[in-house]
Amino acid sequence: MHPILTITGVSKNYGKLTALDAVSFEVPAGAVFGILGPNGSGKTTLLSIILDVLHADTGKFSWFGNSPQTNNRKQIGSLLETPNFYHYLSAVDNLKITQAISGRGGSTDIDEVLRIVKLDERKNSKFSSYSLGMKQRLAIGAALLGNPGVLVFDEPTNGLDPVGIAEIRELIKTLAASGKTIIMASHLLDEVEKVCTHVAILKKGNLLTAGPVDEVLAQEDIVEIAAANNDVLESTVQDMGGFTKVKKHDNCLQLFYPVGTAQLDGINKYCFDKGITLQQLQLKKKSLETKFFELTND
C-alpha cells in the first residue's frame, strides 16, 4: 500500500534564511500525523509546499503515489494557517465555492458540515460578521466537505474557546477512528499526544525525528521508585547496576534504562533483599512534552 504522502529532501530558503532543510518522511494511510515544532520551525512552510501554495527549492513530494500535477488536492480537506473566505459572502455561499472548486460533496453536504461545526444557525450570516472561533469552525467545516479521506489541519484549534478545543479534539478522534488520514501541525503537545499515532518534530527547518509516537518517545525506559527514605534508597540502588543514570524527581527516584531492559520485579526483589520496602514502583513513558523540550532546547 502506498503511503498517503511521501516527502523527499524538501528544502526551502527565504534569502539567507533556511525555512526547511532536506526534510523527508512518509505519512502512512490511516495515521494521525502530528507535525510539531516551535514558532518558525517550518511547519506551515512544509504544509504550504505539500498543498502547492509554495514552491520547494529542492526535493519533491507525492500524494497517493501521484505526481503533484494531478488532482490530488481535490481529495484533501485542508485548513492552512488562517480561515480564508470571501468576507461579503455567507457560510453557505463560501462553501458553495469550496464545493465547486474541489468537487467534493453534494447539495446536502453543506448543511451537514455546518451542523457538525455548529454553524447551522448562522449559516446565512456574512463571514465578516463571524467571531474568530466561528471563522475557524467554518474552515474546519470546509475541510470536512464531501468527507475526504485525507485531512490537513494547521493549528486547528486556533481561536477556539476551551469547549471548542475539546470538541475539535473529539472530532479529530472520531475522524481518525473512521480510518481517515490526518496531518496536523500544532503547538499543543498534550493535544497531539492524545490524538496522534505518528509525529514529526521540526526545529529551524530541520527534521529532528519522525515516526510512530511510541517509537519517538520510547528511547529509554524510566522507572520511578520511592521508599520511606529516598536517600538510603539512592545509595542502595547505586550498586544494583543496569540503568544508565539515576535522578531525583519530586518525591521519588527516576532510574533510566535502555529501551526494554527495565525489569520491575528484579528491582523490587533487589530492594527487598537489601531491607528496603518500596512504596512506589512504576514504569513511566516519557511525555511528548519532555521529549519535545529535550529535542528542541539548545
Partner 1 sequence: MFSLIQIEWLKIKKYPAFWAMLIIVLLTYPAANLMFYNVYLDITTQKGTQMLAKMFLGNPFAFPETWHTVAYISSFFVILPSILVIMLVTNEYQYKTQRQNVIDGWTRRQFMASKLIDVFIVSAITTLLYALVAIGFSIYADTFDATKMWEQSYYIGLFFLQTFAQLSIAFLLGYLIKKAFIALGIFLFYYLIVENIATGYIRMKAEKIGGDLGRYLPFEISDRMIVAPAFIGRFGKDIKTAYEKSLSEVPSQIALSLLLTTAIWVLCFFLHRKKDL
Residues that bind partner 1 (CB under 8 A): 48, 51-55, 69, 71, 73-74, 78, 80, 82, 84-89, 93, 96-98, 100-103, 142
Least Å distance, CB 62 to partner 1, is 17
Q: Which is nearer to partner 1, 47 or 217 (CB)?
A: 47
Q: Which is nearer to partner 1, 78 or 158 (CB)?
A: 78
Q: Which is nearer to partner 1, 4 or 288 (CB)?
A: 4
Q: Which is nearer to partner 1, 81 or 234 (CB)?
A: 81
Q: Which is nearer to partner 1, 55 or 245 (CB)?
A: 55
Q: Which is nearer to partner 1, 54 or 165 (CB)?
A: 54
Which among 23, 80, 14, 86 is positioned nearest to 51, based on CA atoms?
80
Least Å distance, CB 143 to partner 1, is 10
Least Å distance, CB 16 to partner 1, is 17
Least Å distance, CB 120 to partner 1, is 20
Contact status, residue 72 vs residue 64, Cβ threshold 8 Å: yes
Per-state percent for the chain, helix, strand, coil, to nearest 5: 35, 30, 35
Give the C-alpha separation, 271 to 223, whole Å. Answer: 14
Give the C-alpha separation, 166 to 172, whole Å. Answer: 10
Q: Which is nearer to partner 1, 48 or 62 (CB)?
A: 48
Contact status, residue 144 vs residue 152, Cβ threshold 8 Å: no
Least Å distance, CB 74 to partner 1, is 4
Contact residues for 4 (Cβ-Cβ < 8 A; gap 6+)? 27, 28, 29, 31, 63, 64, 150, 181
Which among 156, 204, 219 is positioned nearest to 182, based on CA atoms?
156
Looking at residue 47, its amino acid is L
Least Å distance, CB 79 to partner 1, is 9
Residue 209 per-residue DSSP state:
E
Residue 105 per-residue DSSP state:
S
Least Å distance, CB 226 to partner 1, is 52
Give the C-alpha separation, 176 to 178, whole Å. Answer: 5
Give the C-alpha separation, 196 to 191, whole Å. Answer: 8
